[in-house]
Amino acid sequence: MLEFFSSSARVVNTKRCVNECLEIALGDSNKNNVDLLIFNASIGHDFNDILSETKSLYPNADVVAASCCGIIGKEGVSESMKDMGLMAVKGKDYALAEVDGIFGVNSYEKSVELAKSLKSQKDGINMIYFLASGIDINNSDVINAFESVFGEDVTLFGATSSDNMKGVISYQAVNNNVYENGAYAIGFSDSSLKVHTRATHGFVAHGDPLVVTKSTGHIIHEFNNKPAWQEYTRVLGLDSQASCGDTIPIGALGEELSVDLAQEYGNSHILRVVTKHDGDDMYYTTSCPVNTKLWITVRDENLIFDEMERMTTNMLQDIGDDEIVSVFHADCLARGRFLFNKVFKEELVAKMQNPFYRNGLCPPWLGMYGFGEFARLGGQNRYHNYTTALYVITRSRK
């Protein structure tokens, strides 16, 4: 049976920050009995130091880490260059797999490799936590790959790693290896656990759509028969020399949802972010076939707060009387300090976390500001951008 413990800290020295997180999460009673350590850390930390320091203290534990643009833990939210969050897990009911060199063009093959490795290690995997580079990856191929091995009933949750919104480099680390274009997956096989996932964004589409007229997989070459990056930046009112970081806060692209999905989602569009461009070619986060229509969207602050409340209410109804044992959480980096000042940001996090408190205490919580989020929609695994995505792990009390 798996047990979860969490912590977060902000310390300039990476090794000291690791120690503080471990001390807060595990204390004296659990410090010698842990099997899996999951770190999120802002881009200012040294990921080799995270691994080496943790392995020196817990040589028999599995250690994974990913870069982000800030963390959200049970202690609150922080978006400095030196933040770190930790979820510690006791128990052996999991499998861990890693790959290097995952890109958009080989996302399916690399994800099949991960999935097959997990399946060969453990029977009964019923949920998979996935973390990969967020710069160049085709996340719809990732989902299809895992489902080809495990079927559609196994829930895929997690995120893609980020930097400080530059779209230049992100890190993923597993045990002794630090990657720039890697991925890891953790398959949980504790049959007493269930994960509940939902996502929400609160942006509204406007104007006429951009129509994809030429694309290859997840790369968009043309909008409206014009070079994609030039047309995209023109619509945003930016010069074509703008960076991806310039477009992320204002350039969320929306794909229209069916009426049924829109009603469940609380929004008529699912959003996508552009994390990289090579000349006029734009790197989308999922496959984007010709004739896809994409709307520019703008954030609606009232809708963001209203939909957050609706999402947590619906999740609590799904959870019922089950025990909440931990919460994993992925938030778009553009929903942090890049779109909200400190007051709004902390109010939003409070509205997200407070409904899951029990006896005045926040459950173990590990969140990050990343490039994208996985959560189910319409009963299927889906990839989202610009959302808050919550993954509440529960255990039946029966």
Each residue's pLDDT tens digit, 15-39: 999 999 999 999 877 677 899 999 9
Q: Do 182 and 100 form a contact (C-beta atoms < 8 A)? A: yes
Compute how many other C-beta atoms are within 10 angstroms of the C-beta atom of residue 13: 13
Task: Compute the distance between CA of residue 282 and CA of residue 233 in angstroms, rounded to an integer.
Answer: 11
Question: What is the pTM for the complete model shown?
Answer: 0.95
Task: Compute the distance between CA of residue 354 and CA of residue 365 in angstroms, rounded to an integer.
Answer: 12
Mean pLDDT within 317-331: 96
The tokens for 239 are 């010069």
What type of residue sits at position 29? S
Compute how many other C-beta atoms are within 10 angstroms of the C-beta atom of residue 103: 15
pLDDT of 342 above 60: no
User: Using 50, 70 and 90 to split pLDDT, how confident is the model at 334?
Assistant: confident
User: Using 50, 70 and 90 to split pLDDT, how confident is the model at 228?
Assistant: very high
Give the residue among 62, 57, 58, 66 at the shortest CA–CA distance from 84.
66
pLDDT score, position 340: 52
User: Using 50, 70 and 90 to split pLDDT, how confident is the model at 116?
Assistant: very high
pLDDT score, position 336: 60
User: Using 50, 70 and 90 to split pLDDT, how confident is the model at 344?
Assistant: low
pLDDT of 362 above 90: yes
User: Using 50, 70 and 90 to split pLDDT, how confident is the model at 141?
Assistant: very high
Mean pLDDT within 347-359: 91
183 forms beta bridges with 99, 132
pLDDT score, position 8: 97
Task: Compute the distance between CA of residue 123 and CA of residue 398 in angstroms, rounded to an integer.
Answer: 23
Mean per-residue pLDDT of the chain: 94
pLDDT score, position 300: 87
pLDDT score, position 332: 87
Q: Do 130 and 112 form a contact (C-beta atoms < 8 A)? A: no
Q: Tell me: the pLDDT tens digits for 280-289?
A: 999 999 999 9
Higher pLDDT, 302 or 336: 302
